[in-house]
């Protein structure tokens, strides 16, 4: 009886199988649909691979079809490469007899690596097409990539196969020293606006030398890379006021991934490090984006001027200073994993018309952190001889954006004058008596909204509805704001003079 039942079930399965048509395919008739007719792969540097981009292909018909060929028009010579539904085909260029079921779709993932010589010499675009089928059934989707030429700076390879290294804080890291007589690049200590620069590893500034960044210079750091200004070395950043949103005269430090996907991702590269014995630094109109630490300042006994500078999207700190001396004007910092500004182990600091904000999405970060101690240091405490904030905004998405950490074994001198400050929790700590402690706090606007224009886009302009409007003290005024706009009297707080927002 069991045998008859088994044969019965087998017969049913066989009958249904013979009726199915979805194992049979018909030739494609050129009626494929696509998620886009052109795939734009964002700008890349020459010979640096792009991100992966997606194209979806649809079969709207009731038939399972076979696409005889999917290929790049330039064939095996194309600088693009694809996978089609997980298949690599012939070197990612040519795919034969691809099946696409009825009412179904397939994914094509596209990448490219190309040289500037591959691009059109007029517009520097590299293009190709993905071809589906041929002849009367041919359908095409265009591929477009902008390739940017650049100066590449990187460690040399040693004879034993290891990379060149430099010493930073007693550790050997992949890096090299900039050469003022480089046979290929010329003077590497002068960065111009002629071409962008791409740095691999740490670029070091040699002792007794100064690295200069001219207005409009663009510097892109690869992962785990940075700039190291060593002992007796200097940095001068000579950016200028720009007239358009392209920031044509700004000096910009950022990562080397140019795709829009990476525009706001923190931690894409390491840091600009100013060593303990480095000297004579001047920074004006610098924008730093997407580092681990924007400016890692260890310089001692040598004042540093930082003016008209923006630092955004750092995984740890916008500015981290240790026992340093900084004079800061028109500085804007936002979105930092630990603190936008952190001044540790004492030092001397003066910040005027600055906007320190932190919209990092958790509650343990600060816009400003001050401390006169450092764990593991000897001695552990060091005098904070001055920390003065004039006409500043200290704000963010957290409850308290201002943090003081005082060690009683060393001086801790601080003062806030005419500042808008976010500190929402009540505190009996004597360090935070904003209304009654006139030695440390004068004319503090507490927990009022500065009404920034678009903080999610790092635009911290204000208008007349802001709580920071006309609340500054004329005594501390910096005549021009970060955009070069003349400040009125009384001035607004923060780095921006108020203007009407665009409609």
The pLDDT tens digits for 87-131 are 999 999 999 999 999 999 999 999 999 998 998 887 789 999 999
* pLDDT the model gives residue 467: 98
Non-local CB neighbours of 291 within 8 Å, separated by 6+ positions:
221, 226, 253, 266, 267, 268, 269, 270, 271, 272, 314, 315
Per-residue burial over 227-261, b if 16 or more Cβ lie within 10 Å, else e, is: bbbbeebbbebbbbbbeeeebebbbbbbbbbbeee
Q: Does the pLDDT value for residue 2 go beyond 70? A: no
Which tens digits make up the pLDDT trace of 180-207?
999 989 999 999 999 999 999 999 999 9
Q: How far is CA 124 from CA 116, 127, 146, 148, in A?
A: 7, 10, 6, 7
Burial of 185 (0-12, 13-18, 19+ CB in 10 A): middle
Which tens digits make up the pLDDT trace of 345-375?
999 999 999 999 999 988 789 999 999 999 9
Q: How far is CA 18 from CA 9, 11, 39, 64, in A?
A: 14, 11, 42, 16
Cα–Cα–Cα angle for 62, 65, 66, nearest 5°? 180
Q: How far is CA 472 from CA 76, 107, 359, 443, in A?
A: 65, 57, 24, 9
Q: Which residues pair with 501 in a beta bridge?
A: none
Q: What order of strands is seen across the sheet that includes strand 53-59?
A: 33-34, 53-59, 104-112, 80-84
Nearest in space to 302 (alpha carbons), one of 329, 286, 282: 282
Provide the pLDDT confidence category of residue 503 given band limits of 50, 70 and 90: low
Q: Does the pLDDT value for residue 396 go beyond 60? A: yes
* pLDDT the model gives residue 258: 86
Question: How crowded is the C-beta side of 419, counted as CA atoms within 13 Å?
Answer: 28
Structure-token pair, residue 67: 């696409």
Q: Does the pLDDT value for residue 316 go beyond 50? A: yes
Kindly list the domain boundaries of the chain, sorted by start residue.
26-148, 151-476
Mean pLDDT of the chain: 92
Which tens digits make up the pLDDT trace of 286-311?
999 999 999 999 999 999 999 999 99
Nearest in space to 358 (alpha carbons), one of 414, 318, 310: 318
Q: Token match 């764990």: residue?
A: 375
Task: State how far the Cα of 352 lies from the Cα of 388, in Å rounded to an integer.
Answer: 8
Mean pLDDT of all residues in 64-91: 95
Q: Does the pLDDT value for residue 7 go beyond 70? A: no
Structure-token pair, residue 160: 């034993």
Topology of domain 26-148, CATH: Immunoglobulin-like (2.60.40)
Which tens digits make up the pLDDT trace of 420-465?
999 987 878 999 999 999 999 999 999 999 999 999 999 999 999 9
Peptide bond just before 18 cis, omega within 30 deg: no
* pLDDT the model gives residue 387: 98
Which tens digits make up the pLDDT trace of 211-253?
999 999 999 999 999 999 999 999 999 999 999 989 999 999 9
* pLDDT the model gives residue 456: 93
* pLDDT the model gives residue 159: 82
Q: Does the pLDDT value for residue 8 go beyond 60? A: no
Q: Are 123 and 148 spatial neighbours (Cβ–Cβ below 8 Å)?
A: no
């Amino acid at each position: 009886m069991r045998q008859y039942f088994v044969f019965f079930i087998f017969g049913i399965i066989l009958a249904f199988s013979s009726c199915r048509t979805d194992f049979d395919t018909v030739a494609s008739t050129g009626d494929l649909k696509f998620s886009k007719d052109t795939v734009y792969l964002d700008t890349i540097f020459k010979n640096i691979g792009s991100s992966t981009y997606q194209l979806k292909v649809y079969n709207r018909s009731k038939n399972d079809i076979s696409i005889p060929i999917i290929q790049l028009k330039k064939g095996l010579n194309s600088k693009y490469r694809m996978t089609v539904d997980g298949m690599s085909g012939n070197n990612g260029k040519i795919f034969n007899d691809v099946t696409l079921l009825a009412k179904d779709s397939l994914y094509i993932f596209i990448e490219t690596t190309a040289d500037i010589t591959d691009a059109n010499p007029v517009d520097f675009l590299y293009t190709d097409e993905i071809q589906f089928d041929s002849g009367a059934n041919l359908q095409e989707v265009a591929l477009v990539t902008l390739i940017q030429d650049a100066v590449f700076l990187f460690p040399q390879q040693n004879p034993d196969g290891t990379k060149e290294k430099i010493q930073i804080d007693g550790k050997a890291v992949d890096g090299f020293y900039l050469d003022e007589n480089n046979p290929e690049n010329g003077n590497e200590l002068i960065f111009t606006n002629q071409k962008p620069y791409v740095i691999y590893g740490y670029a070091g500034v040699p002792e007794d030398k100064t690295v200069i960044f001219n207005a409009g210079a663009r510097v892109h750091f690869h992962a785990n890379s940075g700039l190291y200004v060593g002992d007796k070395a200097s940095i001068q950043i000579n950016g200028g006021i720009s007239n358009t949103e392209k920031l044509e005269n700004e000096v910009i430090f950022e990562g080397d991934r140019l795709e829009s996907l990476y525009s706001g991702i923190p931690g894409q590269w390491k840091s600009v490090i100013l060593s303990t014995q480095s000297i004579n630094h001047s920074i004006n109109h610098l924008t730093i984006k997407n580092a681990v630490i924007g400016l890692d300042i260890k310089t001692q006994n040598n004042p540093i001027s930082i003016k008209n500078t923006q630092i955004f999207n750092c995984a740890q700190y916008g500015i981290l200073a240790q026992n340093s001396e900084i004079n800061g004007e028109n500085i804007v910092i936002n979105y930092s994993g630990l603190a936008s500004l952190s001044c540790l182990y004492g030092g001397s600091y003066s910040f005027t018309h600055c906007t320190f904000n932190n919209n990092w999405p958790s509650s343990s970060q600060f816009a400003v952190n001050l401390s006169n101690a450092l764990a593991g240091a000897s001695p552990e405490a060091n005098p904070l001889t001055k920390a003065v904030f004039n006409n500043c905004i200290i704000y963010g998405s957290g409850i308290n954006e201002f943090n003081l950490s005082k060690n009683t074994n060393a001086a801790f001198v601080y003062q806030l004058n005419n500042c808008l400050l976010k500190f929402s929790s009540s505190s009996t700590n004597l360090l935070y008596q904003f209304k009654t402690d006139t030695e440390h706090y004068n004319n503090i606007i507490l927990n009022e909204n500065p009404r920034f224009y678009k903080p999610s886009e790092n635009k911290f302009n204000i208008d007349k509805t802001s709580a920071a409007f006309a609340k500054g003290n004329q005594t501390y005024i910096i005549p021009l704001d970060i955009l070069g706009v003349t400040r009125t009297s009384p001035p607004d707080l923060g780095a921006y003079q108020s203007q009407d927002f665009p409609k």
